[in-house]
Structure 1
Amino acid sequence: MGKNWIPMSHTEGEAAKQAHVALPEGTYEREMGKEGFFGPAAHLYHQNPPTGWIDWEGPLKPRAFDTAKFAAAVDCPWKAQLMMGNAHVKFRHMLMTRAMDHLVRNGDGDELLFVHDGEGALFCDFGHLTYAEGDYIMLPRGSMWRLEPKTPSKILLIEATNDSYRLPDKGIVGPHAIFDPAVLQIPKLDDAYRAQQQVKKPWRVVIKRRDQLSTVTYPYNPLDVVGWKGDLTAVKLNWRDIRPLMSHRYHLPPSAHTTFLASRFVVCTFVPRPIESDPEALKVPFFHNNDDYDEVIFYHQGSFFSRDNIHPGMISLHPCGFPHGPHPKAFATGAKGTRKETDEVAVMIDTRDALDVATAAESVEFKGYVATWNPDGFKQAAE
């Protein structure tokens, strides 16, 4: 993508020498940036928190949703609860408690699964693999697959509509940074895979294309592969194999934690890391308005050092167009420097195009979320 801005740099009034370091006393830094932290940016130093609103009217507000309130299990990924989406990405939540008796195929795009809870097995064209909490599984568009949960499994489905997932360019830190591609696991044509081929019964394949379903029935199991070769396959990555970029003297932007990307959105993973130790460095996410992307965060586990009143299984949505950042309590804790490391695990999706919130998400919405940046409003929202 070529530059489409006027290259320049200027300083006016009281400002930090470097972004996110040694802020002028009594100020709150806000980054106004373009291109998802990769483009031009201005750093503005406010006398009051940029999130200090006391009222909000209209649809462009921060929202939160609690997937822990979903209790109904489904027997097919295409019945998963649609949370939000646009023409390029769909974000679903699924609870599955029993083995699928059919196969599915996504004709609309690559599918990325994130296992929030549970364990079991996945069978697909390329073989068999086991899954457990914290696994990402990327299935190329057109793959046939099914799940056999061993325990109740809560899974996020992130579809790259009409697109493919790829790994980010890791630039000057080299290809082995963040995670070495050698940790990626692929399915195996093992005994478990061969055993399921022996089940003599008709098998259905439910194909999703343009969000419409078609069912094809075979008199045998079409997962009857005996071998394959090539550079297209399903892959698995657990968040524990991610070793995040960090700096003890500078708070890195979320883009440093990109795990997968597509043409119109990115998937980032926040994992435990030491907090910046330099006394002048900012120790919590900086206030920012990322005016080119909507931001979605799924909170997987741990205590979330930039948020209050958030628990695992919740999802926040910050549409582009207004400043957001840490909650007051988190900001105060960061200023004290008492925390030495984070223990949070979260999945973030930044989308270039505006997201539409689905009815299922609205049914589990935390309506008071917009008030949680205001100390008085927080009490009311928590009630």
Structure 2
Amino acid sequence: MSSAKYIAFPKVEGLASRQAHADLPEGTFERELGKEGFFGPATHMYHRHAPTGWRRWEGPLRPRAYDLTSLQGGNSPWDAKLVLHNAAVKMRQWRFSGKMDHLVRNADGDELLFIHQGAGALYCDYGHLPFVTGDYIVLPRSTMWRIETTSPVTMLLFECSNGTIRSPERGSVGRHAVYDEAMLETPRIDDAFKAQYDEQEWSVVVKRRDLASTVTYPFNPLDAVGWHGDLAPVRLNVADIRPLMSHRYHLPPSAHTTWVGSRFVICTFVPRPFETDPGALKVPFFHNNDDYDEVIFYHEGDFFSRDNIKPGVITWHPCGFTHGPHPKALQRMYEAAKPATDEYAVMLDTRDALDAGPEMDGVEMHAYAESWMTPEPVKAPKRQ
């Protein structure tokens, strides 16, 4: 009996390209229908009209955008605003300035922090870890921690409700591609950490099943004098990510995977050269990624596939419809002479459907679904 997971019978029907994302038939738009987040079977359709050239949108399923810049903060990460969530992952945003006067511990799962703005230091069981804008910090489940800021901080928090946040498998490119794990920094038991030892009363707020409990100590429980092992928080800055590239082929988002959780992945888009082959696509291809919801947080730069999107905004494309570049972005990228992208963005892809947090309706950019609409149908660019 065959062990094949899918029916596999590659065929070509009508006018089509021999290579996906390259040498499209003149006057066509490519649309990918794929399974398993770009890893499974896929078919590429070639259309006369842009697949997102809809005239109107009705019903609850639609592309959404939220302006997170107006969300407020709180004294604890457990006060962070819930942005999107499902049973496997929660995405929250937290704003904070100053020095936390208590410790927190997440007993619900590993936590991934992304520092969108600001700088400071994290103190945890393992020691002292400075952080700056653009840092990822992975915190194993139940790590005790707090932060002190040197400038006000806005961060995203991704909670992995099941399993572990880990580095991705890198396949044939080898384990040192994208980022060498030698780049990962761990907390130090240094002078700054030793300086915070004290015999004062400290509280630890533990989150379990989204309920908070408080444990009070007559001393600072961050009093380790040493440790050894292979479980610890790690820090990685987006500037240390070296993206995979091909001058002849537009790579899918999965090539930019930075972290893997249970039933979700985190990808990072960083500056990279545009494809130079005349036949290669230079923008994200239209696609139906119908096994995943796709979320992008726009961190910094000029977001070449989107129009009128600023840092601090997220877009959410639930599975079930075609999405891709905005019409203006599509036309601009074929006309522009820019040699490279100039953007930093964090992408959350989830295997299960997401729901929005209770405060998201108040910051939704409700016209986002209509932003693909144009007075005239978008014309496919002529191939050079």
Q: If the TM-score is normalised by the length of the shorter chain, which range does it land in?
A: over 0.9
Q: Distance in 1 between matches of 2:81 and 2:5?
A: 39
Q: Which residue of 2 aligns with 1:298?
A: 297
- The amino acid that maps onto 2:36 is E
Q: Which residue of 2 aligns with 1:161?
A: 161
- The amino acid that maps onto 1:165 is I
Checking the alignment, whether the CA contact within 8 Å between 1:75 and 1:98 is kept in structure 2 is no
Alignment TM-score, normalising by the size of structure 2: 0.96
Alignment TM-score, normalising by the size of structure 1: 0.96
**SS at 2:83 equivalent:** strand
**SS at 2:254 equivalent:** helix
Q: Deviations over 1:235-281 (max 9, x none)?
A: 00000000000000000000000000012000000000000011100
Q: Deviations over 1:37-80 (max 9, x none)?
A: 0000000000000000111111110000011112x331100000
Q: Distance in 1 between matches of 2:135 and 2:186?
A: 12
After the TM superposition, list the runs of 4 or more consecutive aligned residues in structure 1 that deviate by more than 4 angstroms: none
Q: Distance in 2 between matches of 1:203 and 1:355?
A: 36
Q: Which residue of 2 aligns with 1:270?
A: 269
Q: Distance in 2 between matches of 1:337 and 1:97?
A: 41
**Structure 1 pair 179/46, CA: closer, same or farther in 2 (3 Å)?**
same
Q: Give the C-alpha shift of residue 201 in structure 1.
A: 1.4
Q: RMSD between aligned alpha carbons? A: 1.1
Q: Distance in 2 between matches of 1:256 and 1:325?
A: 17
Q: Deviations over 1:307-340 (max 9, x none)?
A: 0010000000000011000000111122225221
Q: Which residue of 1 aligns with 2:78?
A: 78
Checking the alignment, whether the CA contact within 8 Å between 1:333 and 1:339 is kept in structure 2 is no
Matches within 5 A, 1:238-317: 238-317=237-316
- The amino acid that maps onto 1:139 is L
- The amino acid that maps onto 2:135 is D
Q: Distance in 2 between matches of 1:311 and 1:336?
A: 22
Q: Which residue of 1 aligns with 2:152?
A: 152
Q: Which residue of 1 aligns with 2:381?
A: none
Does 2:11 correspond to 1:14? no
What percent of counterpart residues are identical? 60
- The amino acid that maps onto 2:110 is D
- The amino acid that maps onto 1:47 is R
Q: Deviations over 1:98-130 (max 9, x none)?
A: 211000000000000000000001000000010
**SS at 1:350 equivalent:** strand
Q: Distance in 1 between matches of 2:4 and 2:264?
A: 19
Does 2:61 correspond to 1:60? yes
Does 2:34 correspond to 1:33? yes
Checking the alignment, whether the CA contact within 8 Å between 1:134 and 1:239 is kept in structure 2 is yes
Q: Which residue of 2 aligns with 1:372?
A: 371
Q: Which residue of 1 aligns with 2:134?
A: 134
Q: Give the C-alpha shift of residue 222 in structure 1.
A: 0.5
Matches within 5 A, 1:334-373: 334-336=333-335, 338-373=337-372
Q: Distance in 2 between matches of 1:375 and 1:339?
A: 24
**SS at 2:369 equivalent:** helix
Matches within 5 A, 1:94-243: 94-198=94-198, 200-243=199-242
Unaligned runs of 5+ residues in structure 2 are 377-384
Does 2:19 correspond to 1:4? no
Q: Give the C-alpha shift of residue 360 in structure 1.
A: 1.6
Does 2:351 correspond to 1:330? no
**SS at 2:151 equivalent:** coil
- The amino acid that maps onto 2:103 is L
**SS at 1:372 equivalent:** helix
**SS at 1:332 equivalent:** helix
Q: Distance in 1 between matches of 2:266 and 2:140?
A: 16
- The amino acid that maps onto 1:257 is H
Q: Distance in 2 between matches of 1:286 and 1:370?
A: 18
Q: Give the C-alpha shift of residue 84 in structure 1.
A: 0.8
**SS at 1:340 equivalent:** coil
- How many residue pairs are counted as aligned between the two chains? 374
Q: Give the C-alpha shift of residue 357 in structure 1.
A: 0.5
**SS at 2:347 equivalent:** strand
- The amino acid that maps onto 2:160 is A
Q: Which residue of 2 aligns with 1:381?
A: none
Q: Which residue of 2 aligns with 1:90?
A: 90
Q: Give the C-alpha shift of residue 27 in structure 1.
A: 0.4
Q: Distance in 2 between matches of 1:154 and 1:262?
A: 22
Q: Distance in 1 between matches of 2:361 and 2:200?
A: 41
Q: Distance in 2 between matches of 1:210 and 1:352?
A: 21
Q: Distance in 2 between matches of 1:100 and 1:162?
A: 27
Q: Deviations over 1:165-204 (max 9, x none)?
A: 1111111111110011111000000011011013x31100
Q: Which residue of 2 aligns with 1:380?
A: none
Q: Give the C-alpha shift of residue 148 in structure 1.
A: 0.5
